[in-house]
Amino acid sequence: MPKYTEVGTYTGIEYTLKRDAGSWNPDPITIGDDDDDEEDFVAHGSPEPFTFQSISMQFPEPTLVGNGFKVDCKYYVATVTKSDIVTDPDTGEESGGELGLSVVYPNWTLNEQTMSCKGDDFYFTLQTDDNFATEPPGAMGMATARINNKISAPPLPPAPMPDVTDPDYVPTRFDNSYSYVRIFDESTVDFYPRLSPASQPVLKSPEADLPSDPYFPQGRPQPSGLTITNPGTGFTNVRRNLPVLGGSGTEMTVDTFARNGSVYQVKFRNRGTGYLQGDPVRVQSPGTDLSMTVENPPEYPIDGIVGFIPDERESVVINFTLTTKYNGNVTDTINIKQTVSQSELNISEKLRGVMEASYWGNGYYHIGLYPPGYEPVWTDDGRSIAGNSVNYPHHKIQLTRKSYPYDNNREEFISSPENNPNT
């Protein structure tokens, strides 16, 4: 809430920036200003410029998760009054004239609220529509906008680190942490570009910039395929637009093709959103249901690092924007800054921050993605070479064993890549 020095009634949105249950920007009510002798008032809420608590990059734990970074928004009506000036009849001295402030918080109507990274910047590891959470429209006393930490989350109990290279590995949650390579993006890096064949030369800085996209460690928002685990019984030859049940996502529908009542081929009608690699899903049948697992392999912007000079900056200031439309036709936008530091990291930890955005750093060496002798697929400055197709995997298993050649234009998914007649 701004400072007021004039008598009147003021309305607006009061913003209080918090992490978890606490606030590091206190809720101040002050009288007086060091810059002049005029009295003024500051009501509740965080002072401007709005700033989230500074945090530091740390490894191996992803301490930069956005859990708890939030903004509480309340509609206020502030009334500033001034007491009458009274003159003492005996001394002639004047008294009174003090400012007074009262603030009330009536219910209000939220029409729309959006929170985002400012401009074209993006700071998170996970590319998803769920990076930020805001209140749905409606009447309320307070709306809370926040950076969303857990994407598809029940929390995990203590357990050994999983083997992500195991084809049967199924993730159960993802921490929406800040990405080192998206924030500290001035490192000098020599690297192998993503999904490279064995013949691919190293790309060197400054001819090639270290990319930070695509970066989908949890898979893309829409899955790439389905693997049939039980073909079911009781299916007619062709059934269309069937709802898919189960899994982490929503709105997936498929067409099924069957022989003798069992499904041998499935095609997407609607891929849906939010499904994770390995999600078990099914399609209902009058007989036995069709069972499948979702194929949504991870994607990283590079294969691996061979030369590294870290970003020399100790900290970077990142920016968020929060826009609130309320009470019919009123719009208010604020900017929120946050300082992210890497001063506590040594060079090996900074290298790890870059390697986390690579296939090799996550154990996906995809040595069988191309046949022997396959030509390079990337130019020296990181552009794809026309005619030399990158083999984008549809199945996670393609990142862990021989999978060439694979028809990347197929829209049909069978029981496993080994049964693909083109494999």
In the DSSP assignment, the letter for residue 65 is B
Inform me whether the pLDDT recorded for 419 exceeds 80: no
SS3 158: coil
Global pTM reads 0.73
CA 64 to CA 72: how far, in whole Å?
21
Average model confidence (pLDDT) for the chain? 80
CB count within 10 Å of CB 240 equals 10
Alpha-carbon distance of 385 to 210, in angstroms, equals 18
Least confident of 131-135, 186-190, 269-273: 131-135
60 preceded by cis ω (within 30°)? yes
Is the pLDDT confidence value at 266 over 70?
yes
What's the pLDDT score for residue 417? 38
Q: Are 39 and 5 in contact (CB under 8 A)?
A: yes
The Cα–Cα gap between 184 and 314 comes to 9
Contact at 8 Å (CB) between 116 and 334?
no
Q: What per-residue confidence (pLDDT) applies to 276?
A: 84
With 90 as the cut, is the pLDDT of residue 323 above it? yes
Which residues are CB-contacts of 92 (< 8 A; sequence separation ≥ 6)? none
- Measured CA to CA, the distance from residue 186 to residue 71 in angstroms comes to 30
pLDDT at residue 249, as a whole number:
87
| pLDDT, tens digit (0-9, with 9 covering 90-100), for 339-384 | 999 887 888 888 888 888 899 988 888 887 888 888 999 999 999 9
What's the pLDDT at 422? 34
In angstroms, rounded to a whole number, what is the distance separating the alpha carbons of residues 380 and 384? 10
User: DSSP string of 323-345?
Assistant: EEEETTTEEEEEEEEEEEE-TT-
Eight-state DSSP code of residue 221:
S
Return the closest-CA partner of residue 300 out of 352, 364, 373, 223: 364
Determine phi and psi for 309, rounding to 5 degrees: -120, 115
Q: Is residue 39 within 8 Å of 31, Cβ to Cβ?
A: yes
Closest to 229 (Cα-Cα) out of 260, 263, 268, 272: 263
Tell me the mean pLDDT in the region 8-31: 65
Per DSSP bridges, beta strands 330-341 and 55-56 are parallel
Query: Is the peptide bond between 158 and the residue preceding it cis, with omega within 30 degrees of 0?
Result: no
DSSP 222: S
- In a 3-state reduction of DSSP, which class is residue 361? helix
Q: Report residue 111's pLDDT band, with 50, 70 and 90 as the boundaries.
A: very high
Amino acid residing at 52: F
End-to-end CA distance of the chain: 64
Angle made by CA atoms 308, 314, 315, in degrees to the nearest 5? 115
Which has the higher per-residue pLDDT, 295 or 149?
295
- Is the CB of residue 113 less than 8 Å from the CB of residue 325? yes
User: Is 23's pLDDT higher than 60?
Assistant: no
The least confident of 61-75, 189-203, 286-300 is 61-75
Q: What CA–CA distance (Å, rounded) separates 376 from 59? A: 34
Helices (H), 29-98: none
Contact 73, 324 (CB under 8 A): yes
Separation CA 193–CA 218 (nearest Å): 20
- Per-residue pLDDT band for 119 (boundaries 50, 70, 90) equals confident
Percent of the chain with pLDDT over 70: 78
Task: Give ∠ CA 105-110-112 in degrees, rounded to 5.
Answer: 145
Task: Tell me how far apart the alpha carbons of residues 324 and 331 are, in angstroms, rounded to a whole number.
Answer: 6
Whether the pLDDT of residue 279 is over 60: the answer is: yes
| 282 vs 147, more confident | 282
CA dist 395 and 335 (Å) reads: 41
Residue type, 338: Q
> What pLDDT score does 411 carry?
39
Secondary structure element (H or E) that encloses residue 188, with its range: strand 188-193
